[in-house]
């Protein structure tokens, strides 16, 4: 099956490095990031899991839980965690799903037969507290994932869920944003009393809501 934006993230119960979890229950009221790697002890993914581990304070600030997955068993995951700690200088404290039977990979369309019929592709899902899919990314085997970009999109999603704005290309947290097209100028005067810059009637830039002066 294919996973589309706005759909409910498939629920599952599976063994992980922290014991069995039921996914939706484990997420609770948090945002979630589910990301897969082809198999344990691979070089690019070793650096990626280290990067995710180092970002632990950033995930916590954003009320976000992260969880990894591959087709390897729990014992292999735990051995790999030792390598990650030694080579990347960061301890993996988030769960790694053991998906040897491929059930979760099938639910999330992580097996792409034309790439490799036996292992999961390197994909990322952002899931909101309502358990809806808000972002999907799939990377080639040779290019390490940019988790700064995942954080950036997470910031954008959380901001735009709270306020009637959207974020422009290459936006970073704290920069100006765009007033949503669905907001009329009359509504905008109430929502953004300090005013905005109109480049075109459909392109109105405004200070990010909540940004300090």
Residues noted as catalytic: 45
Q: What is the pLDDT of residues 30-58, one digit of tens each?
A: 999 999 998 899 999 999 999 999 999 99
Percent pLDDT > 70 in the chain is: 95
CA distance 101 to 194: 56
Q: What is the pLDDT of residue 76?
A: 95
CATH code, 13-145:
3.40.30.10
Q: What is the pLDDT of residues 58-101, one digit of tens each?
A: 999 999 999 999 889 999 999 999 999 999 999 999 999 999 88
Which residues are CB-neighbours of 102 under 8 A, at least 6 positions away?
Answer: 71, 111
Is CATH 3.10.350.10 the right assignment for the domain spanning 163-206? no
Which residues are CB-neighbours of 78 under 8 A, at least 6 positions away?
Answer: 17
Q: What is the pLDDT of residue 114?
A: 67
**Which of 48, 63, 23 lies closest to 155, judged by CA?**
63
Which residues are CB-neighbours of 170 under 8 A, at least 6 positions away?
Answer: none
Tokens of 125: 């899902």
- Answer whether 23's CB lies under 8 Å from 13's CB: yes
Positions of CATH 3.40.30.10 in the chain:
13-145
Q: What is the pLDDT of residue 38?
A: 87
CA distance 43 to 52: 15
Q: What is the pLDDT of residues 100-143, one digit of tens each?
A: 888 998 899 887 766 665 667 789 999 999 999 999 999 888 88
């Amino acid at each position: 099956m294919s996973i589309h934006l706005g759909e409910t993230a498939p629920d599952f119960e599976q063994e992980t490095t922290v014991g069995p979890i039921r996914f939706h229950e484990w997420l609770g009221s948090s945002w979630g990031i589910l990301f897969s790697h082809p198999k344990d002890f691979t070089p690019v993914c070793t650096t990626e899991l280290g990067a995710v581990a180092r970002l632990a304070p950033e995930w916590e600030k954003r009320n976000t839980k992260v969880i990894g997955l591959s087709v390897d068993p729990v014992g292999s995951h735990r051995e790999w965690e030792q390598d990650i700690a030694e080579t990347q200088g960061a301890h993996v404290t988030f769960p790694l799903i053991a998906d040897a039977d491929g059930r979760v990979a099938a639910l999330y369309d992580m097996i792409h037969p034309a790439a490799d019929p036996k292992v999961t592709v390197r994909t990322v899902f952002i899931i909101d507290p309502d358990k809806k899919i808000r972002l999907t990314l799939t990377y080639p085997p040779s290019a390490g994932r940019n988790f700064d970009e995942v954080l950036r999109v997470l910031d954008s999603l959380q901001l735009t869920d709270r306020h009637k704005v959207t974020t422009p290309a290459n936006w970073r947290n704290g920069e100006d944003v765009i007033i949503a097209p669905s907001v009329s100028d009359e509504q905008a005067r109430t929502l953004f009393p300090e005013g905005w810059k109109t480049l075109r009637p459909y392109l109105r830039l405004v200070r990010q809501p909540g940004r300090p002066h």
